[in-house]
Amino acid sequence: MSATAGIPTSATLANATAIRQTLPFGNGNGNNTPLSAMAAESSGDVKQPNDDSDASDNDDPDDLNTRTKKKYTKDRKLGEGAYAVVNLGHRRATATEPAVPVAIKKIKVNTEFRDGITMDAIREVKYLRELHHPNIIALLDVFSSKNQNLCLVLEFLDSDLEMIIRDNSQTLSMGDIKSWMLMSLRGLWWCHKSFVIHRDIKPNNLLLASNGVLKLADFGLARSFADPKRHMTHQVITRWYRPPELFYGAKFYSSSVDIFSLGLVFCELMLRVPFLAGNTDLHQLELICQWLGTPTEENWPGVTTLPGYHEASGTVVKERGTDFFMNTFLAAGESGVELLMKMLRLDPRKRCTAREALDSKWFSQEPYPTLPANLPKKGGGKGIEKVGSDLKRKAGELFNTPDERGKKVARKLDFGGGG
């Protein structure tokens, strides 16, 4: 497991002039051993801050912040939304490393949120600082701009899965789909292994690097597994990918919500349109009942006790079996359909885990997953702008303009409820 990849410590990034900063935020107190500290003191080392200099106050974190900021250049704007501005940038070349492109996500000061750093930003920083995995976007640095905007320096990824799905000039083979599913599941497995639920899995949060590698992004809605008995908000996950338990207002749920979302992404990769695209929450639930089956005590013991449970209007549809899925998703083959069904079970307890999904026969059967480098790439130069807009979108939303948002997405986070 390559868990240690990802964020290089500042120590490795430190250039010659900043060599003292061996700690990531050490405000210049990098001499770790008494020996080196003493040596520096007695030899009058130039790097030792001069007591007389007023100019550089090494003890000020603003100073550290400035140093961090100076590591990057801002090139051009990729997109701007209500929530953040995303710029393409570069990490400046150092003696040992060449310049690297990065995405700088500047979180706007939200006029409605008067309480400092927003919860989305807190969550994103909190989890990305900890999660290091090849299939999870890397957070390289964090700094604040002069206007007290939070800037997240992220690994630069030039397209997303939604662009690929919508690009009708592309033909996606089953090997391609398998490859993307495999990479998504690996990233998800690592999240869940680290006790983090993503809570916003959808095609445009699955970003693609130029070498074809897929990475989970946007942890603005993520949370760790709750302590027993502590309530969790059900107002998460973009509607089209939201599992039924959340529509029923479940206060306790698990990583299986992510599995359901990813199951729907699987469908979408095959159908090339969202499988269940409801106009309202109610409509979405109807679609789930109609296409996957109506939740009942029989197929989902306990469902009727969920706080928001209501009986479905219309005829009760039995939870769909292999026949239905084989008809609809023939291309996936038997083992693929089996996996899909396990991911889309109505009862969250019956869904497979990311680990079980990874063990599916499907991945080891022909056609084998396509090598990332050989996967279809997005056409033209639109990709960069699109990803810019993905990154700046408010978590959980499908669209960028307020108009669209108002009409189609009714997500609101209830912070008070201990979400």
Partner 1 sequence: MEDQLYTTTTQCQTWSFGPSTLSTLRATTNAAGVRSIKRGWKRARVEASAANTPLATTPIPSTASNTPTPAPDPASIPDPETLTPSEELTLVNYYMLRLMAMSDIFSFPSSVKATACVFLSRFHLHHSVHSYHPKHLLTTILFLATKTENNYLSTAEFCKRIPKLTPEAVLKYEFKVAGGIGWDFEIRHPLRGADGGIMELLTALGSNSADPGLQVLKEKLGQNQSRRVTDAAGRMKGYLTKEALVSDVYYHYTPPQIFLGALWLADKELAEAYIEWRFGENSLMGRPLKKKKKEKKGKEKNVEDEAAAAEASKPPALAPKLIPVVAACAEMMLKAQEYEKISVDVLKRIDKKLHRCQNPQKFLGAGSPIGIGNDAPAKKAAEEAPPPEKKRKTEEDLFGGALR
State the catalytic residues.
200
Q: Can residue 116 be called a binding residue for partner 1 (CB under 8 A)?
A: yes
For residue 59, what are the contacts with CB-CB under 8 A and spacing of at least 6?
A: 27, 28
Residue of 104, 125, 246, 391 interacting with partner 1 (CB under 8 A): 125
x/- mask, partner 1, residues 7-46, rule CB under 8 A, reads --x-------------xxxxxxx-xxxx--x---------
Six-digit token string for 162: 């939604």
Q: Are residues 21 and 28 in contact, defined by beta-carbon separation less than 8 angstroms? A: yes
Numbered residues of the known binding site:
78-86, 105-106
Within 154-213, the residues that bind partner 1 by CB under 8 A are 193-194
16 burial level (CB within 10 Å; 0-12, 13-18, 19+): exposed
Task: Name the binding residues for ATP.
Answer: 78-86, 105-106
Q: Is 119 in the site for partner 1 (CB under 8 A)?
A: yes
- C-alpha neighbours within 13 Å on the C-beta side of residue 75: 14
Q: Collapse the DSSP code of 147 into the 3-class scheme (helix H, G, I; strand E, B; otherwise coil) and give the result.
A: coil
The single residue among 82, 117, 213, 317 that binds partner 1, judged by CB under 8 A, is 117
- 147 burial type by CB count under 10 A (0-12 exposed, 13-18 middle, 19+ buried): exposed
- Does residue number 127 form part of the binding site for partner 1 (CB under 8 A)? yes
Is 110 among the residues that bind partner 1 (CB under 8 A)? no
Comparison of 33 and 315: residue with beta carbon closer to partner 1: 33
Name all contacts of 127-131 with Cβ < 8 Å and 24+ positions apart. Answer: 127/191, 127/196, 127/219, 127/222, 128/152, 128/219, 129/7, 130/194, 130/196, 131/190, 131/191, 131/194, 131/196, 131/219
Residue 416 within binding range of partner 1, rule CB under 8 A? yes
Among 13, 14, 18, 64, binds partner 1 (CB under 8 A): 64
* 313 interacts with partner 1 by CB under 8 A: no
Residue at token pair 């899965």: 161
Write out the binding residues for partner 1, residues 208-267 only, by CB under 8 A. Answer: 223-224, 227
* Binding range to partner 1, per CB under 8 A, among 60-68, 201-209, 236-244, 320-328: 60-68
Which residues lie near partner 1 (CB under 8 A)? 1, 3-4, 9, 23-29, 31-34, 37, 49, 51-54, 57-62, 64-65, 114-117, 119, 122, 125-127, 129-130, 132, 142-144, 148, 150, 193-194, 223-224, 227, 415-416, 418-419
